[in-house]
């Protein structure tokens, strides 16, 4: 079961620059580790994180194995209208999760 | 003890769904580090296409003494306007000694308002971390820091 | 292996000093030993990765399970009210077995007896999530563990284990956590060993983990044979440590290096 934590202000003033914070549960197995038996542990990471606002991409990250487990991102955006943020995490082994958060802009 | 910040203004969202089974991490040993200054330079060339990279504008914040290399907080900010005609279009983070020189690429636009991103990274050892910003005019700016990673005491051998 | 050298070197210097308990006024949470960035990670609920487990635990709390087809919430209602302060009293005396049980064991006993479901494995995501969700309801509550007089002999046993030298390094918990808590082991601060924040997110683990996991890691660190998960010795150690931290505020889910 995956879980995500999203932190978006519920409301803001038009033109405000707001901070968005996201956490997604994921092991981020680097692919560079070996078991005690010598067997390689296959890579299993999130490779892409995207944030869209009312359908338009506002932030995207390409992730490599050097991103720590349970990836955390904080970034900024200028809000000009009320609407919905959509978040998408895509990764190895078919990993795909989405979440959304609404903001009311006055 | 520590009240959640802005808990009245902020909203919490959770999601639950089918996903990879996150089991206990297996017992492991690390391969020797593979990234080298040459590989770092080559990874940077892949982003810049060989264009000159100037020092400045970029601020790279990593704790000078890292408590655990498995989870290192990192913030990159660029002192530059975020206007449609002149803005930061991407930020790239690299390291010198991890098995792979790339850490992350962040794609921004003028609507970001502020060219600043934070994440948490892994550093296998004390090493140099480099951040490069690409501006909308095609120029590249960078900052680098030398990070000291301390070894954790009492690491587990068997889970 | 490099850590062992550090442990041995640090303790040889002070090996002659006898175990002395930490005065109440000098007690400090592991939080106070951390660097500002790690403190920030714990303090901000939306930056604290431990909250992913709490969130998951909330889902599980409300999900029906077992042959009884009951959720935790069907008996205990809103955890924010019913579970407040509960984790601050564990391990607690269990009448059925006549022994102390920790919070994980209490959750599993509930699953077995009331939900008629299979117990959850130690350190499984489900058990850590439920434990984290229950423990989160006690954040800020002073620890009360050990107040029950029926626990006295088990607290004493736990204290004995804590004081006892063992393993190839011939160390007791007290040799580091009472005698040398103001020093460092390689780059890491030696703390006083107060379990105020469990289950907690350890940067080293890149995951949430239980106090039993931490104790087993410490025991392996002194090159002794770690007790199995759920062993009476581990619960007695948990009980002693929690009663030793009585009065300190609960922090779960804490973050530690």
Cβ(C257)–Cβ(B67) below 8 Å: yes
Mean pLDDT of C81-110: 97
- What domains does chain C contain, in order, with CATH numbers? 2-44+146-256 (1.10.760.10), 50-136 (1.10.760.10)
Mean pLDDT of C61-67: 97
Q: Does A55 touch chain B (CB under 8 A)?
A: no
User: pLDDT tier at C102 (50, 70, 90 boundaries)?
Assistant: very high
pLDDT higher than threshold 50 for residue B5? no
Mean pLDDT of C192-206: 96
How high is the mean pLDDT of chain C?
Answer: 92
Choice between B97 and C50, residue whose per-residue pLDDT is larger: C50
User: pLDDT tier at B157 (50, 70, 90 boundaries)?
Assistant: low
Cβ count within 10 A of residue B151: 15
- In degrees, rounded to 5, the angle at the alpha carbon of residue A57 between the alpha carbons of residues A52 and A62 is 100
* End-to-end Cα separation, chain A, in angstroms: 36
Cβ(C253)–Cβ(C132) below 8 Å: yes
User: pLDDT tier at C207 (50, 70, 90 boundaries)?
Assistant: very high
Q: What backbone torsions phi and psi does residue A57 show, to the nearest 5 degrees?
A: -65, 130
Report residue B103 CA to chain centroid gap.
6
d(CA A68, CA A65) in angstroms, rounded, equals 8
Q: pLDDT value at position A38?
A: 87
d(CA C173, CA C35) in angstroms, rounded, equals 24
Q: What burial letters (b/e) apply to B61-82, b meaning 16+ CB within 10 Å?
A: bbbeebbbbbbbbbebbbebeb
* Structure ipTM: 0.95
Cβ(B40)–Cβ(B130) below 8 Å: yes
Cβ distance C2 to B151 less than 8 Å, yes or no, reads yes
User: pLDDT tier at C19 (50, 70, 90 boundaries)?
Assistant: low
Mean pLDDT of C241-247: 97
Q: Which residues of chain A have pLDDT under 50?
A: none
Choice between C18 and A63, residue whose per-residue pLDDT is larger: A63
Number of helical H runs and strand E runs in chain C: 11, 7
pLDDT higher than threshold 80 for residue B105? yes
Q: Which residues of B touch C129 (CB under 8 A)?
A: none
User: pLDDT tier at C40 (50, 70, 90 boundaries)?
Assistant: very high
Which of C49, C56, C125 minimises the CB distance to A23? C49
State what percent of residues in chain C have pLDDT above 70.
93
Return all residues near C115 (Cβ < 8 A) that are at least 6 apart: C65, C66, C67, C68, C70
Which of C185, C203, C207 minimises the CB distance to B153? C185
Q: A2, A3, A4, A7: which to substitute to probe chain C, counting the most C Cβ within 10 Å?
A: A3
d(CA B111, CA A52) in angstroms, rounded, equals 12
Q: What burial letters (b/e) apply to C50-59, b meaning 16+ CB within 10 Å?
A: bbbbbbbbbb
For strand B140-149 and strand B65-66, is the pairing parallel, antiparallel, or unpaired? parallel
Q: Is residue B73 classed as helix, strand or coil in its secondary structure?
A: strand
Q: pLDDT value at position C186?
A: 76
User: Given a contact as 3+ CB pairs under 8 Å, which chains touch A?
Assistant: B, C
Q: Where are the domains of chain A?
A: 4-105
- Domain A4-105 CATH (choose: 3.50.50.60, 2.40.37.20, 2.40.340.10, 2.60.40.10): 2.60.40.10
d(CA B45, CA B101) in angstroms, rounded, equals 12
Structure tokens at B154: 């009492």
pLDDT higher than threshold 90 for residue C17? no
Q: pLDDT value at position C2?
A: 45
Which of B26, B99, B117 minimises the CB distance to A32? B99
State what percent of residues in chain B have pLDDT above 70.
73
What confidence tens digit (pLDDT) does each residue in B113-140 have? 999 999 999 998 899 999 999 999 999 9
- What domains does chain B contain, in order, with CATH numbers? 37-147 (2.60.40.2470)
What confidence tens digit (pLDDT) does each residue in B33-72 have? 456 788 999 999 999 999 999 999 999 999 888 889 999 9
State how far residue B99 is from chain A, nearest Cα, in angstroms.
7
Residue among B54, B61, B53, B113 nearest B83 (CA): B113
């Amino acid at each position: 079961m995956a879980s995500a934590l999203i932190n978006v202000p519920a409301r803001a003033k038009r033109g405000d620059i707001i901070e968005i914070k996201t956490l997604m549960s994921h092991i981020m197995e680097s692919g560079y580790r070996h078991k005690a038996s010598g067997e390689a542990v296959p890579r299993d990471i999130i490779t892409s994180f995207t944030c869209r606002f009312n359908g338009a991409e506002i932030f995207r990250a390409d992730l490599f194995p050097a991103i720590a487990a349970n990836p955390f991102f904080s970034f900024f955006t200028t809000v000009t209208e009320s609407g919905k943020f959509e978040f998408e995490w895509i990764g190895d082994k078919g990993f795909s999760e989405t979440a959304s958060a609404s903001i009311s802009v006055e | 003890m520590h009240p959640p910040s802005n808990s009245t203004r902020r909203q919490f969202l959770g999601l639950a769904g089918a996903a990879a089974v996150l089991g206990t991490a297996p017992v492991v040993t690390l391969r020797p580090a593979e990234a080298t200054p040459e590989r770092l330079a080559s990874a940077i060339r892949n982003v810049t296409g060989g264009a000159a990279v100037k020092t400045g504008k970029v601020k790279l914040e990593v704790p000078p003494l890292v408590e655990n290399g498995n989870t290192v907080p990192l913030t990159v900010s660029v002192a530059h306007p975020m206007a449609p005609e002149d803005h930061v279009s991407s930020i790239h983070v690299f390291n010198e000694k991890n098995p792979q020189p790339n850490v992350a690429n962040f794609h921004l636009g003028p609507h970001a308002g502020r060219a600043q991103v934070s994440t948490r990274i892994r550093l296998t050892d004390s090493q140099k971390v480099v951040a490069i910003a690409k501006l909308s005019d095609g120029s590249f700016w960078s900052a680098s820091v030398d990070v000291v990673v301390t070894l954790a005491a009492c690491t587990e051998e068997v889970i | 292996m490099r850590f062992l050298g550090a442990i041995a070197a640090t303790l040889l210097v002070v090996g002659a000093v006898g175990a002395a308990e930490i005065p109440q006024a000098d007690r400090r949470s592991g939080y106070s030993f951390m660097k500002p960035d790690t403190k920030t990670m714990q303090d901000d609920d939306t930056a604290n990765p431990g909250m992913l487990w709490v969130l998951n635990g909330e889902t599980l709390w409300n999900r029906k399970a077992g042959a009884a087809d009951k959720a935790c919430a069907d008996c205990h209602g809103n955890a924010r009210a019913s579970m407040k302060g509960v984790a601050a009293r564990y391990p607690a005396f269990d009448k059925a077995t006549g022994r102390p049980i920790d919070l994980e064991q209490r959750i599993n006993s509930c699953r077995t007896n009331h939900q008629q479901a299979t117990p959850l494995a130690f350190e499984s995501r489900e058990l850590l999530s439920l434990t984290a969700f229950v423990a989160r309801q006690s954040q800020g509550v002073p620890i009360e563990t050990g107040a029950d007089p029926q626990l006295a002999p088990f607290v004493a046993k736990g204290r004995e284990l804590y004081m006892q030298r063992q393993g190839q390094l011939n160390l007791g918990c007290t040799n580091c956590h009472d005698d040398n808590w103001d020093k460092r082991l390689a780059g890491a601060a030696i703390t006083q060993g107060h379990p105020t924040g469990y289950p907690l997110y350890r940067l080293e683990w890149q995951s949430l983990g239980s106090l039993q996991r931490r104790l087993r890691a410490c025991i392996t660190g002194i090159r002794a044979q770690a007790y199995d998960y759920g062993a009476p010795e581990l619960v007695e150690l948990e009980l002693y440590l929690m009663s030793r931290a009585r009065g300190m505020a609960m922090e779960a889910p804490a973050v530690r290096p």
